[in-house]
C-alpha cells in the first residue's frame, strides 16, 4: 500500500513549516499578504501560505485534523473516481479550499500593508466539511470528549466562524475557516452526482429518531 495524498500533504507542510520557523526570510516570502500580492503580483502566496504556521501548536492542530479526516475523504474520492483521478480531485479540494478561503481577506485587506495570514486552516476546513458529505451522522468529538454528529458540528462551526469573522477581534482567520469549509462541502457535492445522492440518503437516516 503506497503513501496517500494526505500523508504527502502533511509531510510537506510539516517540513516547510519547520523550515519557516527557522528562516524568517522564507516565512515572509510564503505568507499571505494581500497588499504585497496586489503590488508585486505574488499570487502564489494564496497557496504557499497554507504550508507555514505560527508555531508548533498551530501546525500540530491543523495536521492532526487533516490526518484524522483527510484519509477518509481521500478514500471516498478514490472509491468514486479511481486512485489517480480521485487523488487529483482530492488535491483540488484541499488546495481549492486554501485559495478560496484566502479570497475574502484579499479583497478586504489589499490596501492594508500590515495584514498577514498563514496556515492550512482553509484547506483543513474544506476537507472536514467534505467528510460531512460522506458521514453526516458520525460523531465528531469536541475536545476528544463531547460527541456531536458531524452535520450538526458543521452547522455550528459555520455559524461560529461567520460570527467571529464579522467581529474580527482576535488573530484567527475565521473568514478562511468559513469560506474554505463552504468550498469543501459544495465542491464535493458538485464533482459527483453519486456523492450528492449518498449525502441525501445518509441525511435521511437520522440515527436518533
The domains of the chain are located at: 5-204
Of the CA atoms within 13 Å of residue 165, those in its CB half-sphere come to 18
Give pLDDT, residue 95: 98
Give 80-144 as a DSSP string.
HH-HHHHHHHHHHHHHHHHHHHHHHHHHHHTT-TT--B--SHHHHHHHHHHHHHH-TTSEEEETT
> At CA 14, angle to CA 13 and CA 16, rounded to 5?
65
Q: Which residues of the chain, if any, have pLDDT below 70?
A: 1, 143-144, 168-171, 208-209
Cβ neighbours of 88 (radius 10 Å): 14
Secondary structure class of 147 (helix, strand, coil) = strand
pLDDT tens-digit series, residues 106-132? 999 999 999 999 999 999 999 999 999
**What local confidence, expressed as pLDDT, does residue 36 receive?**
96
- Count other C-beta atoms under 10 Å from residue 175's C-beta: 22
pLDDT on residue 147 = 83
The whole-angstrom separation of Cα 44 and Cα 30 is 8
pLDDT at position 145, please? 76
pTM for the model stands at 0.93
The burial class, CB within 10 Å (0-12 / 13-18 / 19+), for 56 is: exposed
Nearest-angstrom CA–CA distance, 124 and 106: 19
What's the CA gap between 100 and 121, in Å, rounded? 12
Query: What pLDDT does 144 receive?
Result: 66
CATH superfamily of the domain spanning 5-204: Rhomboid-like (1.20.1540.10)
- Segment 14-35, tens digit of pLDDT: 999 999 999 999 999 999 999 9
- The pLDDT of residue 1 is 60
pLDDT value, residue 104: 92
C-alpha count within 13 angstroms, C-beta hemisphere, residue 206: 4
C-alpha distances out from residue 137 to 131, 146, 159, Å: 10, 14, 19
What pLDDT is attached to residue 165?
Answer: 77
Amino acid at each position: 500500500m503506497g503513501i496517500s495524498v494526505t500523508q504527502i500533504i502533511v509531510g510537506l507542510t510539516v517540513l516547510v513549516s519547520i523550515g519557516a520557523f527557522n528562516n524568517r526570510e522564507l516565512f515572509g516570502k510564503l505568507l499571505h499578504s494581500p497588499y504585497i500580492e496586489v503590488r508585486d503580483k505574488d499570487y502564489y502566496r494564496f497557496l504557499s501560505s497554507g504550508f507555514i504556521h505560527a508555531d508548533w501548536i498551530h501546525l500540530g492542530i491543523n495536521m492532526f485534523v487533516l490526518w484524522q479526516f483527510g484519509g477518509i475523504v481521500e478514500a471516498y474520492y478514490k472509491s468514486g473516481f479511481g486512485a489517480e483521478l480521485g487523488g487529483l480531485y482530492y488535491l483540488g479540494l484541499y488546495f481549492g479550499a486554501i485559495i478560496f478561503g484566502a479570497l475574502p481577506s484579499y479583497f478586504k485587506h489589499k490596501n492594508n500593508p500590515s495584514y498577514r495570514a498563514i496556515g492550512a486552516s482553509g484547506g483543513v476546513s474544506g476537507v472536514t466539511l467534505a467528510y460531512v458529505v460522506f458521514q453526516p451522522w458520525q460523531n465528531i468529538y469536541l475536545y476528544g470528549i463531547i460527541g456531536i454528529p458531524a452535520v450538526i458540528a458543521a452547522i455550528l462551526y459555520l455559524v461560529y466562524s461567520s460570527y467571529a469573522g464579522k467581529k474580527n477581534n482576535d488573530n484567527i482567520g475565521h473568514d478562511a475557516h468559513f469560506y474554505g469549509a463552504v468550498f469543501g462541502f459544495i465542491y464535493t457535492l458538485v464533482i459527483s452526482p453519486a456523492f450528492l445522492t449518498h449525502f441525501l440518503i445518509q441525511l435521511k437516516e437520522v440515527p436518533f429518531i
